[in-house]
Amino acid sequence: MRAFRHARMGTLPEDARRGTIASLNGKSRSSAHTPRQQDLSLTREQQVYAIKTWRYLRLAMIALLVGLFAAVIYEVARGGDIDCVQTSISAYYYTHAQAIFVGALIAMGTCLISLRGSTDHEDVLLNLAGMLAPVVALVPTPNAGACASLVGLGDPTPNVENNITALLFTGATAFVLLAVLSRGSRRPAVARIGYWVAIALWGIALVVFIGFTPEFVDHAHLIAAGIMFACIIAVAVINAFSFRDKQGDPNVRNRYIYIAIAMLSAPALYLVGGMYHILLAEIAALLLFAIFWAFQTEELWGEGVRLDPEAEQRHAAEQDG
């Protein structure tokens, strides 16, 4: 809450004034550098803008989820039959909520990729989750449900073929740009591994999409959603440990542990709830996703990101070298 109060007063917390963001880019403003070294430190105003970018990305994901739930609730109310509820959030692709469903997931994927994690491991997981979110959006669940309201939608395969082709080209472009922009830089091992894992997922998707299109259309949604949610759970677990390290007290009340445990328990809802068991599990997962970002937004309101001691040491070594 200290950082939150500083931000509300229009100032940065002490660690940010000393160069919180600057340290992530190489060194603090006060450190000496040779003429051959580029000074990557940020001014106070630039740090404020960077922190606000982190803040708005987190808040945007919460807002997108609110919009998604609003579209689903409106669709149920519009039909006038409270008994006619789709058996999953994903099945609302086949209703008038389709545009919000697809748009919200693609936008959330963009936010996840754009949001730099506090550690390299967290950043890789966020990138992988963001990479998979558009697949969840663009490849619908094969079960249209009994309450589908989009008349004439028919076979979604032509939509999937068009949209996934565009998505694969977008991914290929991103990989090439990343390779070019990072050329000559010493990237952490975790980041390099994450890059190749992402390329492997892209390659598998390409092969299955071209060679086994019907199977891709039938199963890509569920597989992508499962991997994406697993990445988010892992992010919550990482945050539980990094939050504990930040507080310096292993016995501190750790909000992220509760979120991680709840996320791990959410799939158990598949075993209850009758015909709506998938809907209940998806609602729980999305609510926990929103709560996670609400917690992190409040914690890092005036900081933007937690400092990773290992990253600081690595960047310092690179500058000294």
User: Do 54 and 115 form a contact (C-beta atoms < 8 A)?
Assistant: yes
- CA-to-CA distance for 145 and 98, rounded, in angstroms? 14
pLDDT at 154: 79
What pLDDT, on the 0 to 100 scale, is given for residue 78?
84
* Nearby residues of 148 by Cβ (< 8 Å), 6 or more positions away: 86, 91, 94, 95
> What SS3 string covers 30-65?
CCCCCCCCCCCCCCHHHHHHHHHHHHHHHHHHHHHH
Residue, of 273 and 302, whose pLDDT is higher: 302
Q: 31-35 long-range contacts, Cβ below 8 Å, gap at least 24?
A: 31/319, 33/319
What pLDDT score was predicted for residue 35?
41
pLDDT, one tens digit per residue, over 82-134 is 678 898 999 999 999 999 999 999 999 999 999 999 899 999 999 999 999 99
The pLDDT tens digits of the residues spanning 187-245 come to: 889 999 999 999 999 999 999 999 999 999 999 999 999 999 999 999 999 999 999 88
- pLDDT of 143 > 70? The answer is yes
Q: In which band, very low, low, confident or very high, does the pLDDT at 153 lie, cut at 50, 70 and 90?
A: confident
Question: Hey, where are the domains in the chain?
Answer: 2-6+58-320
The position carrying tokens 């492997």 is 200
Quote the pLDDT of residue 313.
58
* Segments in 143-254 forming alpha helices (H): 157-181, 189-211, 213-247
- Measure Cα distances from 220 to 110, 201, 284 in Å: 19, 12, 22
Q: Is the pLDDT of residue 250 over 80?
A: no
Q: How confident is the model at residue 26 (pLDDT cuts 50, 70, 90)?
A: very low
CA distance 92 to 132: 19
Count CB atoms within 10 A of the CB of residue 184: 5
Tell me the pLDDT tens digit for each residue of 165-189.
999 999 999 999 999 998 888 888 9
pLDDT of residue 311: 57
pLDDT at 6 over 60: no
Tokens representing 152? 């004439």
Rounded average pLDDT over 288-317:
80
Mean pLDDT score of the chain: 84
pLDDT at 297: 94
pLDDT at 213: 95
Q: Label residues 244-256 b or e (16+ Cβ within 10 Å = b).
A: bebeeeeeeebbb
